[in-house]
Structure 1
Amino acid sequence: MTDTVDARPLLEGARPERDAGFARYIRSGATLETKAFTGTTGEGGGVAIPTQLDDRIDAQLVGLSPIRAIANVVQVGSAGYRKLITSGGTPSGWAGETDPRPVTATPTFHELVPPGGELYANPSASQAMLDDALFDAEAWLAAEIATEFAKAEGAAFVDGSGEGRPRGFLRAPLGAAPDGRRAFGTLQYLPSGAAGDFAGDPAERLIDLVQALRAPYRQGACFVMNAATAARVRKVKTRDGQFLWQPGLAAAQPATLLGYPVVEAEDMPDVAPDSPALAFGNFRLGYLIADRGETAVLRDPYSNKPFVTFYATRRVAGCVADSDAIKLLKFAEK
């Protein structure tokens, strides 16, 4: 047997997945091999990164962007994404074998057009770092893009204006009326009973917030708040001295409040007068994120010498999809 271990080919599952053409583009700007890319617009418009690296960015975004991890994310192929939403449901009825079937009412359709914009990041590295064979340029670029995108996304999905960026769920109209009595797209809020504080027993206010969400939505629901609000809620006890907050038993398991997971989103507002600092809902049904296409990268070695800047862009849209699926606790008297 003459084959050595070093000469044997790697098993398919053990072969390192690298895109040599894209690696050369990052390190030196070479664009000779473009057929391996998911798309290209030429040197002037940048190069769409390989699917493997784009998936790595998506995976890191889910870990870094809390709302993306719990929302409904769809991939779209055009800028004009639209979705039809029905309100009121489709009426139905019962009938015997020979009973007449009268015509039922027609549901109301609403066209949902998520506003969005172009998300961009400008990470830079020195040419000496890129020339270093031991420097994993692809992993560095994916981490930098994901981190910058997550910061911008986190703010937009919570409180984005909807002008050149997604519209955050806190920018939706608010009303105190229950489901079925509010205008389409209006979120229900429950007052805490006092400006900037809980009135009476905080546990009762939290229970009211949970029960305001109808049972079909409570399956898969979670609390969303920032760290300062979480620190305040963690101290809430029942009348017999038991904490409502239960920490996760494992490292990857989230803490629970009243049996529902707690998601920390640092872009949520602090507890203050008239502040909707605490949200509870099924964000998979309540908030829609539309990603258009892959991430494109433009290599710029000229504008910031001796650094090489990578201009990464991605189009993202988002808005409230089902206003009955998200409830807010507003720290106000009424």
Structure 2
Amino acid sequence: MNSETPAPIETKNDAFDASFDIVARQDAQDEALATIRTDIEDVKGRLDKVGRAAIRPLLAGGAPTGAEMKGFVDGYLRHGRESELKSLSQSVAADGGYAVPREIDEVLAKRLAEISPIRSIASVVRTGTSGFRRLISIGGTASGWVSETAARPETASPKLAEIAPPWGELYANPSATQAMLDDAAFDVAEWLAGEIATEFARAEGAAFINGSGTSQPKGFLTGATSTAGDAARTFGTLQHIGSGAAAGFDTSPEAKLIDMIFALKAPLRQGSVWVMNSTTMATVRKFKSADGAFLWQPGIAEGQPNRLLGYPVIEAEDMPDVAAGALPIAFGNFQAGYLIAERRETTILRDPYSNKPYVQFYATKRVGGQLLDSDAIKLLKITA
């Protein structure tokens, strides 16, 4: 029995010692975790010391642009990786172009409204195809009085006219060096939107007024004009009022302007505006009535348009100057009188190959335009 006694005593000592080993291992693990936490805090402290000096600034003046814009700018505009762009595209053009992200497209639309005055006052529709058509009723319905038992002869039916605005492809092709694109402090989105918007606005603003209708919109000054009234004039022909002098205005210019107003049908006068360039505005602003009062009325508050005989004046530099045979002043309801049709998306194609070391951004937009209702716009023609 004495030889068997030490065995259980030794077993108990081993279990007791093992428990101390577990505690020791736990303490070692806690110490290791504490060391890791200390290292992490040390790294954070060093990053805080580095601060923003080591971090490249964001685009758009430091303002966050969203995941879609960031992926587009970093992945496609700067580095040309099409995988980022394809996942963001709303549609893929047949020629390999891709839809501009929504943020840039909204900037484009805003700039166009500010620079192109005709766009802001005309009727604008967005279509998915260039085959857009619109029907307009030009009247012709007749009626008659009869007695209770009299026969009812057939009356004339209303007539319709089809409006199919001519289309053209508007494009801009700005470029930048790859070095500029690699510098994140350079605002790629703002630069791209500003360049494209300026070019688009310049081109379409001129086309809506003087466009030929061949591979571009047809301007409202391009078609034929006549002195005939609405009832006698061919649909699609604008009415003009003569200025009374071969090279300018006669001694009573206010009378001609009043004639233009009342040549327009009463329902169309609501929402009508004057359209002229700044040179003509300088002349018209000096006009006075017979009692010496100026016809021009400055806006009564900031942001309010100037008025001529009670109607707002829109300044459009593509309108012609006062000269013999010119049409320097238009008056009418352009919402009813002129139609602008455009595709929904602006497309852009990044081209880093054609003109090294420049990266070109070929942007396109299909736009059409045409006179909609020839009764809704009246013109002043410099003629005796």
Aligned residue runs from structure 1 range 248-259, under 5 A: 248-259=299-310
In 1, distance between residues paired with 2:147 and 2:371? 41
Find the partner of 1:308 among 350, 359, 369: 359
Question: Contact 1:196–1:275 at 8 Å: present in 2 too?
Answer: no
CA contact (8 A) 2:93 2:347 kept: no
Q: What's the counterpart of residue 208 of structure 2?
A: 157
The alignment partner of 2:256 has SS state of: helix
Report the Cα offset of residue 66 of structure 1: 0.8
* Equivalent residue for 1:82, pick from 133, 141, 146: 133
The share of aligned pairs that are identical, in percent, is 57
> The residue matched to 1:189 in structure 2 has which SS?
strand
Q: Which residue of 1 aligns with 2:96?
A: 45
| Residue 135 (structure 1) aligned to one of 179, 186, 190 | 186
Kept after mapping to 2: 8 A contact 1:19/1:36: no
- Per-residue CA distance 1:151-183 (angstroms, 9 max, x = gap): 000110000000000000001211110011111
- Does residue 274 of the first structure (1) align with residue 325 of the second (2)? yes
The residue number in structure 2 matching 1:212 is 263
Residue type of the alignment partner of 2:92: T
CA distance in structure 2 between the partners assigned to 1:301 and 1:20 by the alignment: 20
State the 1:104 CA deviation: 4.2
User: For 1:234 and 1:98, how far apart are their aligned partners in 2?
Assistant: 62
- 1:98: how far off? 10
User: 235-244 or 160-169: which moved more?
Assistant: 235-244
Q: Using the alignment, how far apart are the partners of 2:257 and 2:240 within structure 1?
A: 12
CA distance in 2, matches of 1:39, 1:139: 23
Question: Residue 141 of structure 1: SS of its match in structure 2?
Answer: helix
Q: Which residue, 252, 257, 275 being the options, matches 1:224?
A: 275
- Equivalent residue in structure 2 for 1:21, among 68, 71, 77: 71
**Structure showing greater Rg:** 2
Structure 2 CA distance for partners of 1:66 and 1:89, relative to 1, 3 Å:
farther
2:339 is paired with a residue whose SS is strand
Match of 1:262 in 2: 313
Structure 2 partner of 1:291:
342
Tell me the equivalent position of 1:36: 88
Equivalent residue runs for 1:75-224 within 5 Å: 75-88=126-139, 90-91=141-142, 104-224=155-275
Greater RCO (CA < 8 Å, at least 6 residues apart): 1
CA deviation profile, 1:255-285 (whole Å, cap 9, x unmatched)? 1111111111111000000101100000000
For 1:281, give the aligned amino acid. G
Residues in 2 aligned to 1:125 and 1:256: alpha-carbon distance in whole angstroms: 43
Cα offset, 1:53, TM superposition: 1.9
Q: Is the 8 A contact 1:37 1:51 kept in 2?
A: no
Q: Give 1:101 shift.
A: 7.2
1:92–1:294 CA distance, 2 compared to 1 (3 A): farther
Q: Where does the alignment leave 5 or more consecutive residues of structure 1 unmatched?
A: 1-13
100-109 or 195-204: which moved more? 100-109
1:56 partner SS:
helix
Match of residue 54 from structure 2:
none
**Counterparts of 2:173 and 2:267 in 1: how far apart (Å)?**
43
User: Which consecutive residues of structure 2, in runs of 5 or more, have no partner in the other structure?
Assistant: 1-62
Q: CA deviation at 1:102?
A: 6.4
Aligned mates of 2:145, 2:353 — CA distance in 1 = 72
Question: 8 Å contact 1:192–1:329 — kept in the other structure?
Answer: yes
CA RMSD in angstroms, aligned pairs only: 2.2
Shift, 1:54, TM fit? 1.4
